[in-house]
Amino acid sequence: MPRYGKSRPRPSGRKLVDAPMRFEFATATRILFGPGTARGLPSLVAGFGRRALWITGTNSNRVEPLRQALAAASIESVSFVVATEPTTALVIQGARMAVESGCDMVIALGGGSVLDGGKAIAAMSTNPGELLDYLEVIGRGLPIKNSPLPFIAVPTTAGTGTEVTRNAVLTSPEARVKASLRSPLLLARLAVIDPELTVGLPAALTASTGLDALTQLIEPYVSCRANPMTHGFCRSGIPLVKRSLRQAYQHPDDLAAREDMALASLLSGLSLANAGLGIVHGFAAPIGGMFTAPHGAVCAALLPHAMEVNIAALRKRDSSNVALNRFDEIAQWLTGQGNATAMDGVTWVRNLVSELEIPSLQKYGITSRDVPILCEKAAQASSTKGNPLALEMPELEEILGKAL
């Protein structure tokens, strides 16, 4: 059996070294997937209690029928809005509302920001002390000890996979950083992935979230923390993006394409939660903390350049690394050509990013003056630890410079 950190020789002729296999896998307690599954929400959550903190984005029209169905089933809901990427102050406010309103569960329905906010609010509703006691980077990073309120995740976009991850990314405007609340206890008690809720999403949102999903399938596949279980998810998910992201972008009401992308997003969340990410997300964290920039669009702008620089660095300094073979495989899945090589995959991704009209990072006010500090922060980011090898500062500067 081939190993997953390093591997035995492959047909390419690269000599690869065996390494002991050790990994952990954890996910949401229960996952339901399929068109129409959200309509069963009242019966699905009835066992968690009778009063929910109902968290949505600013436009809740898409999920309002679900709230009405809860009311018909005698499950009360208290509304709370996560209008942008969740801040530390917003989480504190939400947790206070959950406690004061006597909520016994948290139901979050929306994109990744809404779900991240919901996870954090559920945790801070039951754990003592300050949010900064538990936050990484800017806080004390203490472990969460008490089980959060039951958290139910219902994504309405297809990209983040947040419904099955064990961290919540929060923004601290004061520190100009993003930091994670992280614990296995943050995993959802129930994740309901209904592709019908993503039908009709705007093209720009479809593009940025879909490319985020692709990033979250590519980075875990080449990660130094990859394992056999996450490989299966990545191998299944990448071809789904190839088949259906363009279709969903061009035809927003195509349910089959939306189903593919919802599944790809779920698989990406399962992958990143258990194999880590890489330098794209290493950059995305400080960029999101310092600039008003949507996470998915940032990842999309960086992805082809990060792939290219990683491939060059591997060839130069670590040619026996199994990630090189994996970049070849990614290229073959994306292009449909059995003889495609890693750089063919880079070209395919670059063309897709252009076709889906992803802007450069300059759109968000990032300039060459910001490159040094962003590279410094990216080098220290937790996501960067999953990169297939440690990149040098000139390589980090190259990735960011090309994305501007």
Say if strands 190-193 and 151-155 run parallel, antiparallel, or are unpaired: parallel
Query: Measuring CA to CA, which residue among 39, 62, 55 is closest to residue 202?
Result: 62
100: CB partners within 8 A, 6+ apart = none
Which one of 21-35, 115-129, 176-190 scores highest in mean pLDDT? 115-129
The domains found in the chain, sorted by start residue, are 34-198 (3.40.50.1970), 203-403 (1.20.1090.10)
**Structure confidence at residue 19 (pLDDT):** 57
Measured between alpha carbons, how far is 364 from 374 in angstroms, rounded to an integer? Answer: 14
Mean pLDDT of 104-115: 97
Terminal Cα-to-Cα distance of the chain (whole angstroms): 42
Tell me the pTM.
0.93
**Structure confidence at residue 10 (pLDDT):** 40
The two three-digit tokens of residue 313, written as one number: 């660095």
**Structure confidence at residue 8 (pLDDT):** 34
pLDDT tens digit sequence for 116-141: 999 999 999 999 999 999 998 888 99
Measured between alpha carbons, how far is 285 from 12 in angstroms, rounded to an integer? Answer: 35
Are 216 and 178 a contacting pair, CB within 8 Å? Answer: no
pLDDT tier at 237, thresholds 50, 70, 90: very high
pLDDT tier at 164, thresholds 50, 70, 90: very high
**Structure confidence at residue 7 (pLDDT):** 40
Please report, for residues 81, 94, 138, 204, the alpha-carbon distance to residue 55 in angstroms, rounded to integers and kept in the order given: 6, 9, 26, 23
Is the pLDDT reported for residue 268 higher than 70? yes
Measured between alpha carbons, how far is 384 from 216 in angstroms, rounded to an integer? Answer: 13
**Structure confidence at residue 21 (pLDDT):** 75
